[in-house]
C-alpha cells in the first residue's frame, strides 16, 4: 500500500484540496494511508478534514492510517486533542 504524502503546508487553503484527495481515495475503495513526514505547518481546517476522513473510513470499514508525522504535525495533533489520528508505529 502506497502512502499518500501530505503537503508540507496544511493551512486553511490546503483543506479543500486535501478533502477532495481523501474523497477520491475513499471512492477508489483503497485504504487510506497517509504519510505526514513532510508537514511543516498544520492548521485546524486540515486537522478536521483528517478527523472527518478517519470517521468516514470507520463508517465504511476502511482502514485509515496516518504514519510518520513530522514534529510540527504531531505537535498540532496533540494540541488539537486528536492523538487518535496517528497510527502508532509498529
Partner 1 sequence: MNLDEIQQIFFQECEEGLGALESAFADLKRGRHDDETINTVFRSVHSIKGGAGAFGHDRLQHFSHHYETVLDLIRNGTLPLSEPLIDLIVAAFDTLTDHVAAARGEGGMPADQAMLDRLAAAAEGKIEGGAEAAPEVEAVADTPAPAPAPMDDFDALFAMLEEPAAPAAETAPAEWIVTVHPGPRAFDHGAEPMLALRELSRMGARTLSADLSDLPLLDGLDAERSYMGFTLALPGTTDEDDIRAVFDFADPQCRLTVTRATEEVVPAAPAPEPEAVEPAPAAPPVAAPAPVATAPAPLAAVPAAPAPVEPAAPSLAEVANSPRVAAAAAQTIRVDLDKLDRLVNLVGELVITQAMLAQRLSENEMGSIPELSDLDHLTRELQDSTMAIRAQPMKTVFSRVPRIIRELEVETGKRVRLEVEGEMTEVDKTVVERIGEPLTHLIRNAVDHGLETPADRKAVGKDGEGVVTLSAAHQSGRIVITVADDGRGIDRARVKAKAIERGIIAPDAQLSEEEIDNLIFAPGFSTAAVVSNISGRGVGMDVVRKNIQALGGRIGIQSELGKGSSFSLSLPLTLAVLDGMIVTVGDQTFVIPLTHIVESLRPGIDEVHFVGGQSPLLDVRGTYVPVHRVGEQLGVGGATRKPEDAVLIVVESDQGQAVLMVDSIQDQRQVVVKSLEANYRAIHGLAGATILGDGRVALILDVDALIGRWRRDGRSGGAFIEDLAA
Binding residues for partner 1, rule: CB under 8 A, are 8-9, 11-12, 15-16, 18-19, 22-23, 26, 37-45, 47-49, 51-56, 58-59, 64, 67-72, 74-89
Q: How far is the CB of 10 from partner 1 (least distance, A)?
A: 11
CB of 44 to partner 1, least distance (A): 5
Which residues does 14 contact at the CB level (< 8 Å), separation at least 6? 7, 45, 46
For residue 25, the minimal CB distance to partner 1 (Å) is 10
CA-nearest of 14, 17, 3 to 43 is 14
DSSP class of residue 11 equals S
Our CB check for partner 1 shows the closer of 22 and 34 to be 22
Amino acid at each position: 500500500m502506497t502512502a499518500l504524502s501530505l503537503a508540507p503546508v496544511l493551512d486553511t487553503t490546503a483543506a479543500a484540496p486535501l478533502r477532495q484527495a481523501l474523497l477520491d481515495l475513499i471512492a477508489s475503495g483503497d485504504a487510506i494511508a497517509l504519510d505526514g513526514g513532510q508537514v511543516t505547518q498544520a492548521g485546524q481546517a486540515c486537522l478536521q478534514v483528517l478527523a472527518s476522513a478517519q470517521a468516514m473510513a470507520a463508517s465504511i470499514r476502511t482502514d485509515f492510517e496516518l504514519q510518520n508525522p513530522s514534529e510540527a504535525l504531531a505537535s498540532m495533533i496533540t494540541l488539537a486533542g486528536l492523538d487518535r489520528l496517528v497510527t502508532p508505529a509498529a
